[in-house]
Amino acid sequence: MRNFDLSPLYRSTIGFDRLFSLLDQAAGFENAPTYPPYNIERTDENAYRISIAVAGFAEAELALEVKENLLTVRGEKQQAEGQAKGNVLHQGIASRSFERRFQLADHVQVIGATLENGLLHIDLVREVPEAKKPRSIPIGKGAEPALIEAKAERARKAA
């Protein structure tokens, strides 16, 4: 029997949360730990925020790129020249480079990013064009039956 792990799709797509939540509940998939850790939260009906733990990375060492519904976040740790590396007895803070990709749903746009207290916050919004939004169609009244009755009455009077 084969098991299909859809957790990478679930963790890296924005805007498909309802579909993947249903799949996750039905299949009982578990999330695998990855570096760097991150959260995806829904802040409004059409707004999302990705928070990535990037402790130790400076703003200049991080890069964000959006291309064809794919958000790529890169971090490349650069050690300054002439900075001596001391004897580290225990290294629990990772300082390795990373690249994290998130598949964005249609009409999801990145509106900004901030770096505060070791967290990179990326704000997203779903802007559905007017042509794609649902619209209500008014139901008009048909021909009134009084006209048919009036013709029938005229025919009786004439007879």
Q: What is the pLDDT of residue 91?
A: 79
pTM of the model as a whole: 0.61
Token digits of residue 150 = 């009036």
Q: What is the pLDDT of residue 132?
A: 77
Q: What is the pLDDT of residue 65?
A: 95
Q: How many domains would you assign to the chain?
A: 1
Is the distance from CB of 24 to CB of 30 less than 8 angstroms? Answer: no
Taking the chain, what is the end-to-end CA distance rounded to the nearest angstrom? Answer: 84
Q: What is the pLDDT of residue 85?
A: 66
Among left, alpha and beta (phi > 0; psi -120 to 50; other), residue 13 is: beta
CATH of residue 19's domain is: 2.60.40.790
Is residue 150, in this structure, part of any structural domain at all?
A: no
Going across the sheet that includes 98-104, the strands are 13-14, 98-104, 70-75, 62-67
What residue ranges of the chain have pLDDT lower than 50?
A: 1, 29-33
Is residue 152, in this structure, part of any structural domain at all?
A: no
Is residue 158, in this structure, part of any structural domain at all?
A: no
Is residue 1, in this structure, part of any structural domain at all?
A: no
Is residue 14, in this structure, part of any structural domain at all?
A: yes
Other residues' Cβ atoms within 10 Å of the Cβ of residue 124: 25
Q: What is the pLDDT of residue 23?
A: 59
Is residue 50, in this structure, part of any structural domain at all?
A: yes
Residue-number span of the structural domain to which 112 is assigned:
7-134
Is residue 60, in this structure, part of any structural domain at all?
A: yes
Cβ neighbors of 12 (< 8 A, separation 6 or more) are: 100, 101, 102, 103
